[in-house]
Amino acid sequence: MFDNQHTVYAIFFTISSDVTIKVGRLGSFLFPSGNYIYVGSAKRNIQSRIQRHMQLEKRKHWHIDYIRPYGEITHVQTYSSELSECERAQQLFQQYKGQWIVKKFGSSDCRCFSHLIYYKE
């Protein structure tokens, strides 16, 4: 299904109506209806990481786990390590003319503002 040589992934999903969600220790945030991209990485077994993110019922570990029940995944893209997770998030942010809406979402272990991108169609 996915190329296990790839280490970076982007999960594209849609939230159909505005919703306020508590995201672990980050706090509660309003997620406006629209399109989102979550960028992550897995040094090994990227397929099982993505499959876990796709599940609705699970113990909450990653930031994406908190908003997953509210979004419908439209597609998933994997990438080689040519660009790091941070570089890929920046590239997709520019490509989709995105907005950052939650500081440190998916990026608590780096200097990026966020790895969650909100964009209009």
Is residue 34 included in any domain, yes or no? yes
Residue by residue, pLDDT tens for the chain (121 residues) are 566 688 999 999 999 999 999 999 999 999 999 999 999 999 888 899 999 998 988 899 899 999 999 999 999 999 988 999 999 999 999 999 999 999 999 998 899 999 999 998 7
The domain containing residue 67 runs over which residues?
Answer: 8-119
Q: Provide φ and ψ at 71, rounded to 5°.
A: -120, 150
Assigned domain for 48 exists:
yes
The answer as to whether 2 is a domain residue is no
User: Looking at the domain assignment, is residue 3 inside a domain?
Assistant: no
1 located within any domain? no
The number of distinct structural domains making up the chain is 1
Residues 6+ apart with CB under 8 A from 73: 11, 12, 13, 54
Q: Judge whether 82 lies within some domain.
A: yes
Q: What is the rounded CA–CA span in Å between residue 53 and residue 2?
A: 14
Q: How far is CA 99 from the centre of its chain?
A: 13
Rounded-to-integer distance, Cα 117 and Cα 12, Å: 9
